[in-house]
């Protein structure tokens, strides 16, 4: 392993453009740990309702909002943007431009979230799902986001090659669409609020769009990049990737509204969402075909990506199945919908992002992660934690659903019967929290190696990558 091979894989563009990306990833992992603490408190309150409820800052509603906001805008957004910038920079073939903008944007984005979290805790939350951050930080978020996004858009428009790759489509789509979604939702919900049930309708549309058209594409951008890079094989069925991409873009937004089944909205809204939910399965099928190489590969990144991919597919199938009104009758308003949400956000998006981060960091700092045992522990804890979290929530949800259908059953009985599973959810949150602390520590120590080389035991073990076979599918 000579130092020249290190230079071939870790390019000058990586080194020169690493600060914005490292800052985004570090803030993302930091928020992930904080979000885990909120999520743990919220999960304990589900089986022990008096836990911290005497403190106004931590009523169950507020802690849930804090956990969700931190997870989406803190962890997923920062990490996803970091990966997107890195992938766009690499595939663009040049050093990231407008780096100062990205760094300042990241700082203000995180400042906005910090202020916003304080606002939620003290009672300024807007009460809209995924748009809980108080009105006064919302404009700041838009501006900060655009400052970060510029860097990625410049890397795309200034790319060296004529051809483009799936990672770039997904990353650019996510970067470009989110401000539109955010501004549309802010306008219709916060600045000039629409009336009555239009508010939950539009909020449902926004929540679904954020997951389907912002977070999922950011995560997919990393996965589409890492999988062929590691396996060295061109993606199978890649000719269908553009169709899958546009299917997600055009149909994905319409799938928001499933949660309004039986609700006070005209029947066509959930019906349209359900139909879209089935249409979008095409996107998932093609993604599965494209990335199936990850399932056979070993190594840290591919393990995380395989898990994320399977969760992404399982989530889609569950969404489609529960969109039937007969099934929704039981699962609606229960922990089962929470399980689906956790499967999408944690099982799919976060695991795909972890996979990309494990692949990216050594190339950003020019040396491997500092601790292999931390990596292994994080891998095991995440997988066990997510299985336990989603599985227990799903079982608790089914119990809750059958109890709700039975008009004779009281809420006390329901709490009693779901309690063991809710305890398991808390255990899962503890496991995930430990795992996330490990990855944060490992990340920070690895990055510290850039200054204190004494910490690093082994430098430069990158192998020289070869040319990809074209007819490999």
Partner 1 sequence: MMKNGFFFFIGLLAAFVLGWSSIPLLAHKQLGALTPFYDDGESSSFPTRPPGVAARGQLVYADLGCAACHTQQVRRPDFGSDKARGWGDRQSVARDYIFQVRPQLGESRIGPDLANWGGRKPPVDAAGIAQFLHSGVVSGSKAVSHPPFPFLFDDRPVVGEVAADALVGLVEKSSRRQIVPTERARTLIAYLQSLNNAYEYPEARHVAPAAAKEGAHK
Partner 2 sequence: MSTPLHQDPRLDQAASTDESLLAAHDKLLGKQPDEKGRYKLPPLHLLFFFSGLIFFAGTYLNRYSGMFDARVYNENTLPPSGETVVAKLDPLVLGKKQYEAICITCHQANGLGLPGAFPPLAASEWVTGSDDRLIRLVVYGMTGPMTVKGVLYNAAPMPTIGKVANSQYNLSDDKVAAVLTYIRHEWGNTGAPITTDQVAAVRSKEGDRKPYVEAELLKLN
Residue 379: partners with Cβ closer than 8 Å, 6 or more residues away: 300, 303, 304
Which pair of tokens denotes residue 78?
A: 């920062």
Helix, strand or coil, per DSSP, at residue 361: helix
User: Cα angle at 106 between 100 and 107, to 5 degrees?
Assistant: 95
Scan residues 339-398 and list those touching partner 1 (CB under 8 A): none
User: Is residue 164 involved in binding partner 1 (CB under 8 A)?
Assistant: yes
User: Is residue 160 involved in binding partner 1 (CB under 8 A)?
Assistant: no
User: Is residue 288 involved in binding partner 1 (CB under 8 A)?
Assistant: no
Q: Which listed option, partner 1, partner 2, none, makes contact with residue 233 (CB within 5 to 8 Å by class)?
A: partner 2
Inter-CA distances, 289 with 121, 214, 284, 413, Å: 44, 22, 9, 45
Indicate which single residue of 155, 269, 318, 339 sits in contact with partner 1 (rule: CB under 8 A).
269
User: Cα angle at 304 between 288 and 385, to 5 degrees?
Assistant: 115
User: Is residue 56 involved in binding partner 2 (CB under 8 A)?
Assistant: no
Q: Which listed option, partner 1, partner 2, none, makes contact with residue 123 (CB within 5 to 8 Å by class)?
A: partner 1
Residue 410: partners with Cβ closer than 8 Å, 6 or more residues away: none
User: Is residue 465 involved in binding partner 2 (CB under 8 A)?
Assistant: yes
Q: Closer to partner 1 at the Cβ: 39 or 438?
A: 39
Stretch that binds partner 2, among 39-47, 149-157, 327-335, 375-383 (CB under 8 A): 375-383
Write each residue from 116 to 135 as x if it is in contact with partner 1 (CB under 8 A), else as -, in one continuous string: -------xxxxx-x------
State how far the Cα of 365 lies from the Cα of 385, in Å rounded to an integer.
Answer: 29
State how far the Cα of 99 lies from the Cα of 111, in Å rounded to an integer.
Answer: 18
CB of 286 to partner 2, least distance (A): 7
User: Is residue 64 involved in binding partner 1 (CB under 8 A)?
Assistant: yes
Q: Closer to partner 2 at the Cβ: 50 or 467?
A: 467
Closest listed residue to residue 359, CA positions, set 228, 189, 179: 228
State how far the Cα of 177 lies from the Cα of 174, in Å rounded to an integer.
Answer: 5
User: Is residue 56 involved in binding partner 1 (CB under 8 A)?
Assistant: yes
- For residue 107, give the H/E element and its range: helix 99-121
CB atoms within 10 A of CB 469: 10
Q: Which listed option, partner 1, partner 2, none, makes contact with residue 1 (CB within 5 to 8 Å by class)?
A: none
Stretch that binds partner 2, among 140-148, 162-170, 333-341, 405-413 (CB under 8 A): 162-170
| Sequence-ordered strand ranges (E) for 46-121 | none
User: Is residue 191 involved in binding partner 1 (CB under 8 A)?
Assistant: no
Scan residues 78-97 and list those touching partner 2 (CB under 8 A): 90-91, 93
Q: Which listed option, partner 2, partner 1, none, makes contact with residue 448 (CB within 5 to 8 Å by class)?
A: none
Inter-CA distances, 208 with 50, 130, 448, Å: 32, 10, 38
Indicate which single residue of 115, 234, 310, 459 sits in contact with partner 2 (rule: CB under 8 A).
234
Stretch that binds partner 2, among 180-188, 293-301, 387-395, 399-407 (CB under 8 A): 293-301
Indicate which single residue of 23, 177, 220, 244 sits in contact with partner 1 (rule: CB under 8 A).
177
Stretch that binds partner 2, among 41-49, 212-220, 361-369, 427-435 (CB under 8 A): 361-369
Q: What angle do the packed helices 216-231 and 77-92 form, to 10 degrees?
A: 50
User: Is residue 448 involved in binding partner 1 (CB under 8 A)?
Assistant: no
Contact (Cβ atoms closer than 8 angstroms) between residue 88 and residue 168? yes
Handedness of CA 10, 14, 18, 24 (dihedral sign): negative
User: Is residue 136 involved in binding partner 1 (CB under 8 A)?
Assistant: no
User: Is residue 38 involved in binding partner 1 (CB under 8 A)?
Assistant: no
CB atoms within 10 A of CB 471: 5
Indicate which single residue of 7, 325, 417, 445 sits in contact with partner 2 (rule: CB under 8 A).
325
Indicate which single residue of 89, 116, 256, 366 sits in contact with partner 1 (rule: CB under 8 A).
256
Binding-site size for partner 2 (CB under 8 A) equals 75
């Amino acid at each position: 392993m000579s130092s020249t091979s290190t230079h071939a894989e870790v390019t000058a563009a990586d080194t020169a453009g690493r600060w914005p990306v490292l800052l985004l990833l570090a803030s993302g992992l930091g928020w992930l740990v904080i979000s885990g603490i909120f999520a743990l408190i919220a999960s304990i309150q589900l089986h022990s309702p008096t836990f911290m409820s005497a403190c106004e800052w931590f009523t169950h509603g507020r802690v849930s909002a804090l956990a969700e906001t931190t997870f989406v805008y803190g962890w997923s957004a920062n990490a996803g943007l970091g990966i997107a910038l890195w992938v766009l920079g690499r595939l663009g073939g040049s050093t990231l431009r407008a780096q100062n903008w990205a760094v300042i944007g990241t700082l203000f984005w995180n400042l906005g979230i910090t202020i916003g979290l304080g606002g939620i805790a003290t009672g300024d939350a807007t009460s809209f799902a995924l748009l809980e951050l108080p009105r006064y930080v919302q404009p700041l978020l838009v501006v900060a986001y655009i400052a970060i996004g510029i860097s990625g858009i410049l890397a795309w428009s200034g790319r060296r090659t004529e051809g483009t790759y799936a990672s770039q489509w997904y990353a650019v789509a996510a970067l470009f669409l989110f401000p539109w979604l955010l501004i549309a939702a802010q306008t219709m919900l916060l600045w000039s609020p629409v009336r009555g049930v239009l508010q939950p309708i539009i909020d449902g549309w926004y929540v679904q769009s954020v997951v389907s058209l912002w977070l999922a594409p950011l995560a997919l951008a990393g996965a589409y990049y890492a999988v062929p890079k590691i396996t060295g094989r061109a993606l199978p069925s890649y000719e269908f990737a553009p169709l899958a991409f546009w299917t997600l873009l055009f149909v994905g937004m319409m799938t928001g509204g499933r949660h309004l089944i039986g609700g006070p909205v005209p029947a066509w809204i959930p019906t349209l969402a359900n139909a879209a939910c089935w249409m979008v399965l095409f996107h998932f099928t093609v993604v599965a075909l494209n990335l199936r190489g990850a399932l056979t590969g070993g190594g840290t990144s591919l393990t995380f990506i395989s898990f994320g991919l399977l969760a992404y597919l399982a989530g889609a199938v569950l969404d489609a199945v529960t969109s039937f009104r007969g099934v929704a009758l039981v699962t609606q308003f229960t922990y089962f919908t929470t399980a689906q949400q956790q499967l999408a956000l944690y099982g799919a998006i976060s695991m795909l992002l972890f996979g990309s981060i494990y692949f990216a960091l050594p190339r950003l700092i020019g040396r491997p992660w500092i601790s292999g045992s931390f990596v292994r522990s994080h891998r095991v804890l995440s997988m066990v934690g997510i299985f336990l979290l989603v599985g227990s929530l799903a079982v608790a949800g089914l119990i809750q659903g059958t109890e709700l259908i039975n008009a004779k059953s009281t809420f006390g009985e329901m709490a009693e019967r779901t309690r063991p599973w809710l305890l398991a959810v808390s255990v899962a949150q503890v496991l995930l929290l430990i795992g996330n602390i490990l990855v944060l520590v490992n990340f920070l120590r690895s990055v510290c190696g850039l200054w204190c080389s004494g910490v690093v035991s082994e430098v430069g073990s990158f192998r020289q990558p070869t040319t990809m076979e074209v007819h490999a599918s």
